[in-house]
Structure 1
Amino acid sequence: LPIHPHPESNFPQPNLDQPSPVHPYQPQPHSELPEPYQPQPPAPASVGPEVCQIIATGMNTEMQQYASLLASEALTQFPNQMMAIARHIMMNFEERYGPVWCCAVSNGQLGFYLRYDRENHIYFTLSRHTIFLYKSGFVQSIMSDPQSIEDPNPNPDIEIGNAQIIASEIGNFFRHPSQNMAMAQYIMSHFEERYGSAWHCIVSDGNLGFYVRYDPSNHIYFFIGSTTIFLFKNEC
């Protein structure tokens, strides 16, 4: 499977304590409403085999190749099943490289703001899907089985209204679907201001799939219009 690395860019440098987006452009300083981001670069057109376009990674070449292979397998075996695609990639990657890995998949624009290991992540596009596979920088050991959500009803223990209010305050971003990174940062940052750390946020304007270890008492999975939002704490 051909892999095309993204041209070298000045990527933001994440660490294990502070959340970071993975994005090919330097993020703007946090403000009440984050500045717009540039659109994600589209996957290049290909003839014959699909091309894996890497946007950002900290993995070695062998791991990159395996991640793209798993993604290709999953997209073939589970068409239009985002949760199953994420599960296939994450479970097989953990089988070879050990825990703790997480995976998010979207057939639209994917945005996220979370804590991850900068040496163990890959953010890429393949067959018009965007995939982020990363090793958690917050959970250092397996505390529970990874989970996806079949029923998108959020856990009633969390203050659902507050998360939805925060999300609804960023209505201007919905005019620019490529701004999902900024949306995720805005939601997570404001939620942590009120409820403390450590939260993570994934946003998609397409179908969203994920396979992660999260705290069943501290998550919400909801929709605003055509945008899907998953806000969660890791299991710890």
Structure 2
Amino acid sequence: MTLISSKLMYIGVISVIIIAVASYGLFFYFQRVNEKSIRESIFEQELERQINSTKSVSQHVGSDLRLVTSMLQDLADSLYIQNEMLSGDNVSNLLEEKFNQLNSVTKVDSLLITDNEGVITTHKASVGMKTFVNIDISSNDYMMQTMDSLQPVYSNGFTGIDGKYRIVITYPITSVEDGHYIGTVVANLPTIEFFKNYGNVNDINSQFLVVFDRNGNLLAVGASGDLVGKNFFGNETQQFINYNKVLNNLTQY
């Protein structure tokens, strides 16, 4: 009896140990599963939040760009412009009024009108900036696109003569009577000042915006102002992000 009792006790102890080990093993297994599930859930929630936030910013930017375009159309359809009066005091006053209206919506540092050959006839710019007239800008891509299509054009980014990075919005001036081409209204928007209305473009230590044009050139980036105007897939930007494959895959366009 004693021997049998001892064996039963031994088996019981072993069973308890096995059950205990199994229980702890299952506990840690389920804990890892739960932790993984929680991490995945948190990631998915954060991803959804980021997507919704990006979508909201994109819609806001699009809305403001459409508003700017609409205001340029108003200028193109105004009485003086339609009568092909592209310079003079009345047009200068009209241009200044529209310039101030545009800057109540977003930062526009230059607004100008060209004739049908792409020569600047009237120009309004922010304080401290030079204005130009009788300058032919018809060779610029955005002017050629506008003159060819007779449609509004949103340019790629470019560096101005003052070193500031900009985009341009154009609106063709066409006769409401017969549709012939009269000239073009051109608005210059500094990219950093424009996009800072929608998020952080200056501080790498907090959530920031990164904005590209259709060619992958950086229009605004909170990580480093030195990257503005650089191509995302160029050497300088790739060195900055340490050739991050995940980021590159996410940024393919």
TM-score (norm 2): 0.27
Whichever structure has more strand as a proportion of its residues is 1
Q: Which of the pair has the greater relative contact order for Cα pairs under 8 Å at 6+ separation?
A: 1
Query: Which protein shows a greater Rg?
Result: 2
